Amino acid sequence: MVQVRVNEGILEGEKVANDFGKPYFSFKGIPFAQPPIGNLRFKAPVPPKPWDGVRSAKEHGPNCYQNDIVFGQGLVGSEDCLYLNVYTPDIKPNKPLPVMVWIHGGAFISGSGNDDFYGPEFLLRQDVIVVTINYRLEVLGFLCLNTEEVPGNAGMKDQVQALRWVKKNISNFGGDPENVTIFGESAGGASVSYHLISPMSKGLFKRAIPQSGACLGGWSYGHRPFERALALARSLGFYSEDPKELYEFFKNQPIESLVSATPTIALHETARVGKDIYFNIVDELEFGNNERFFYGHVYDQVLKGIHEGVDVMTGFTTDEGLVSLGFGEVLSKKLEMVMKYPESLVTRPLSNALSADQLIDLGKEIRQFYFKDLAKISDDWESLVNVYSMDLFVYPTIRFVEILAALEKNKIYLYKFSCKSERNVLAHVFGLTKVIGTKQVTSHADDVMYLFNAKAMKTGLDAGSPTFKLIERVTKLWTNFAKNGNPTPDDSLGERWNPYTAENETYFEIGNKLSTGSRPYAEEIQFWKNIFAKYVSQLK
């Protein structure tokens, strides 16, 4: 047992054996805010209350209430869920250790910071402190009524509150509060990207690693959020449009009534096949001097630049779009939609902005670019993967780094992740085994398997295996960046990773071998640039 004093009281954690290295110290289930229940439902988080005596920190806190889309457990968790976990290799190091704060993915719908998926053992080998956090999800974290009581973005403010807690307390665990790197994947990557432009997040971290998620991705920000709230209320039989009455209604609903609804607000949304994201980051209105996580148009905010002095390392996997295929009947329906209604291929922001005629024409243009032979569409899942990869992840990330590089104010590193081994299991978790067959892929979220010891996946691992060497290489790149802002500060990895600039457009291929390249997916990127240039005026 080991005790640490934080601002609110004394925590008792434990020393844990590490199958892949030295033992480490674990502190789980640390409250970083008061439980967001009762009158605090939908509100910004409130700092935690102190406690008397010694608080046990040996078990994870509850997951935030959710419909678990990864492990298929259905409705799980609790509203009392604002807890974080701290893992440190040394509580009293000779020199304060770099800190890496992980923000989990899950489409703003599901997930947690627990070690069933985010075990810290691999990263701790590189002498960094790892912090994983929970934040409110779905309607509980992202309901917006455009009022002072419910302005939106509560889940993002949870993340900010966790970062404030880290800033204040991490030195007690041996960490350096002035050397904090935030990193996350998918919705976590988009979150990291938003923290780079959020006024609330400024000064809380030094470096950022958005993985497979960017704030310019249309799935990360909300469209007409008050209409979304009205749709949710009507689905529950409540028809008032008065914001105060809506707030009282939502505040008093049983939690299971609110989560996993399908509050569509447009006819084209009802035609989408598969899961969708209905509650996400919004443009907050101003009420006096209220703290707003984000406001304005996201593209305009990125054009102004990110926080001064913050280094960024970002990228994507080679087969991102697999996550959006669905499986079995869902995939067949999606391919049928491509044939019958090519506008189903149009990216979400454009679907919300364009006329019916424009959507039909644009859908045909996209279909012609990706699906050359219409007669084979019913079997062409790989072209559909390419569309989804570019639309949801690759194009938003590359546009993000292009804009930042043109501003010449921050050091930017771009990667493409293509490692392949028995740890590439996410396509199978997503139910795509019959689709991909024996084809080796690097799916959305497969990169996470090389950073974290995902205990729930039960993938055997030999510390002397070639796969473990890949893990060592990936964790070294990530932790080198966290330590000094350069993923390859020397020649020990055999290849130098140069920053991305407007002139060189360099990226780093992180595969079973390391290599460098320039202008990834150049033809596709230009295709999407031309589309957005044509319709950009209608997106504002």
Active-site residue among 185, 284, 320, 343?
Answer: 320
Q: What token pair was written down for 455?
A: 């205990």
Query: Residues near 432 by Cβ (< 8 Å), separated by ≥ 6?
Result: 322, 325, 327, 443
Positive/negative CA dihedral, 311, 316, 184, 515: negative
Interatomic CA distance for residues 363 and 88, integer angstroms: 51
* Domain-embedded: residue 452: no
Q: Look up residue 394 and give its DSSP letter.
A: I
Residue located via tokens 């002035």:
178
Write the single-letter amino acid at 300: D
Active-site residue among 26, 110, 112, 186?
Answer: 186
Task: Give the E-state strand segments of 358-488 in sequence order.
Answer: 412-417
Quote the mean pLDDT of the chain: 95
Confidence of residue 401 (pLDDT cuts 50, 70, 90): very high
Q: What token pair was written down for 213?
A: 């998620």
DSSP-assigned beta bridge partners for residue 515: 509
Examine the pLDDT at 517 and tell me if it is beyond 80: yes
Q: What is the mean pLDDT of residues 37-44?
A: 96
* Domain-embedded: residue 535: no
Q: Picking from 70-74, 87-91, 92-96, 388-392, which range would have the lowest pLDDT averaged per residue?
A: 70-74
Total count of domains within the chain: 1
Interatomic CA distance for residues 50 and 64, integer angstroms: 22
Domain that holds residue 102: 2-223+279-315
Residue located via tokens 């409705």:
75
Q: Report whether 419 contacts 478 (CB < 8 A).
A: no
Residue 441 DSSP SS3? coil
Residue 88 DSSP SS3? strand
Q: What is the mean pLDDT of residues 300-316?
A: 97
Q: Look up residue 393 and give its DSSP letter.
A: I
* Domain-embedded: residue 419: no
* Domain-embedded: residue 19: yes
Positive/negative CA dihedral, 20, 511, 312, 45: negative
Interatomic CA distance for residues 402 and 410, integer angstroms: 12
* Domain-embedded: residue 411: no
What share of the chain in percent tops pLDDT 90? 86
Residue located via tokens 């149009």:
346
Interatomic CA distance for residues 131 and 138, integer angstroms: 22
Which CATH number fits the domain that encloses residue 184?
3.40.50.1820
Clarify whether 240 is annotated catalytic. no
Q: What is the pLDDT of residue 504?
A: 96
* Domain-embedded: residue 246: no
**pLDDT tens digits for range 204-244:** 999 999 999 999 999 999 999 999 999 999 999 999 999 99
* Domain-embedded: residue 284: yes
Clarify whether 212 is annotated catalytic. no
Confidence of residue 525 (pLDDT cuts 50, 70, 90): very high
Examine the pLDDT at 540 and tell me if it is beyond 60: no
* Domain-embedded: residue 36: yes
Interatomic CA distance for residues 115 and 119, integer angstroms: 4
**pLDDT tens digits for range 314-362:** 999 999 999 998 765 688 899 999 999 999 999 988 999 999 999 999 9
What are the Cα distances from residue 284, in Å, to 154, 197, 222, 290? 11, 14, 11, 10
Examine the pLDDT at 437 and tell me if it is beyond 80: yes
Phi, psi angles (nearest 5°) of residue 67: -95, 110
Examine the pLDDT at 72 and tell me if it is beyond 80: no
